[in-house]
Amino acid sequence: MSETKTIQFSEETMATVQRLIKRYPEGRQKSALLPLLHIAQAEFDGWLSPAVMDYVAVILSIKPIEVYEVASFYTMYNLNPVGKCLIEVCQTGPCWSRGSDDIVEHFEKKLGIKVGETTSDGQFTLKTVECLGSCGTAPMLQCGGDFYENLTNDKVDTLIEKLRANGQRSTYMKDNRVM
């Protein structure tokens, strides 16, 4: 997203934001921060620029640093631009013990990028994250709203081809708002 672009939610999104904020008592609007960051990330190209985070702070009448602290703490928020397909591989204990490091390495080789990088065509970003809650089917990853479990190198190859053919942004918030 260009920083010169006006940062403003669409009318529909702003109505959703206002309904969400009204769920909390007067003076407690900061309680809406996590879902607002999800909405902002979905609305503004899949990541939270400083200008977008400042905008969220204004809406909630809080200090920008309060937004930055939260956005930088959780791996579910992207503080840099990401590819159309954000591949998030779980790296916690159960996934690690069942080969998530090998899966990450395979993605790196197949895509020609390292964790935290985006392919030159802007299609894929590879990220490691903490628990995605599927320990019994480890190793696993999330791409948009879809989970892929019991991963093998062959399954990764099939997934990459499927995502290349699909060619669309894999963010889940645009289609499945949590509000």
DSSP state, residue 82: -
Q: Which residues does the annotation place in the binding site?
A: 90, 95, 131, 135
Exposure of 87 in the CB half-sphere (CA atoms within 13 A) = 32
Pairwise CA distance, residues 57 & 59, whole Å? 5
Classify residue 137 as exposed, middle or buried by CB count within 10 Å of its CB (0-12, 13-18, 19+). Answer: middle
Q: Which residues does the annotation place in the binding site for [2Fe-2S] cluster?
A: 90, 95, 131, 135
17 contacts 59 by C-beta, under 8 angstroms: yes
